[in-house]
Amino acid sequence: MKLRGTLGGLNLLIEPGDTGSSVQDALSVRTELLASAVTLELQGDADPEAVEAALHAIRAAGGTPGRVRAPRVSVPTPAPADSAPRPAPLPARTEILTHTLRAGYHREFPGSVIVLGDVNPGAEILAGGDVIVVGALRGVAHAGLGGHADAIVWARPIASTQIRIGDAVARAPEGSSLSNMRHREDQPLAEIARLQDGVIHIDVQK
């Protein structure tokens, strides 16, 4: 985690190795610096709990979370003239939703989206990039909208009946969910879904 001042306030960089507890500890001694406009920047596969801890610390200090930037570098390989066109690089902007998504919610995002809550049954979220849910994913999620096969779905857990990544679809048998585990509601485990060889695989994060 890195914190630096800018002309418009502060810039807080969340790095892949940061955790919720490490961010909380680091920011607890810098509360006076957070009482301003703070721009969050996510580097690589940032931990959603680290993002949540940063947002909580900013608000507790009286600051204002500003824009969220998630730089994602993509260098496309030039395609031969006779081949199918490749999808455009994933958009860099990440949206953060600070509430649980309830039944009837339906929204499409051009980039990645982080939900600081649950996605309930009957809610649907579509994203051009990744879909990251800090709580349980029980609704429908579509990551990589537009054919971006390297997008992921991350939730704690993925208890949905259907998810999509790129052009692939994973559906659970009727009356069940896609979750790989029998999770306890008081100790949910994180799961990540990736597209491998055209098939969506869901793995438990340990």
**Whole-number pLDDT of residue 126:** 95
| Rounded Cα gap, residues 113 and 125, in angstroms | 9
Is domain 94-204 in CATH 2.160.20.70, yes or no?
yes
What is the mean predicted confidence (pLDDT) over 102-124?
A: 92
- Strands of 9-14's sheet, edge to edge? 2-6, 9-14, 37-42, 64-69
Q: What pLDDT is attached to residue 7? A: 61
Bridge-based pairing state of the strands 162-165 and 140-143: parallel
Equal fold, 2-69 vs 94-204: no
- pLDDT tens digits along 28-74: 888 887 877 788 777 766 677 788 788 778 878 887 766 666 544 33
- Annotated domain spans of the chain: 2-69, 94-204
Identify whether the C-beta of residue 63 lies closer than 8 Å to the C-beta of residue 36.
Answer: yes
164: confidence class by pLDDT, cuts 50, 70, 90: very high
Q: What is the pLDDT of residue 161?
A: 87
Q: Write down the pTM of the prediction.
A: 0.62
Query: Is residue 76 pLDDT above 60, yes or no?
Result: no
Task: Report, as an integer, the average pLDDT of 78-89.
Answer: 51
Q: Which residue has the higher pLDDT, 11 or 113?
A: 113
Evaluate if residue 186 carries a pLDDT over 70: no
CA 122/CA 105 separation, integer angstroms = 7
Q: Quick one: pLDDT at residue 75?
A: 36
Residues 131 and 165 sit within 8 Å (Cβ to Cβ):
no
Confidence of residue 89 (pLDDT cuts 50, 70, 90): low
More confident residue, 74 or 141: 141
Cβ atoms of 168 and 202 within 8 Å: the answer is no
The superfamily (CATH) of domain 2-69 is: STAS domain (3.30.750.24)
Summarised one tens digit per residue, pLDDT across range 8-29 is 667 888 887 888 889 888 888 8
Which range (12-21, 97-106, 176-185) has the least confidence?
Answer: 176-185
Q: What is the pLDDT of residue 122?
A: 95
Contact 123, 106 (CB under 8 A): yes
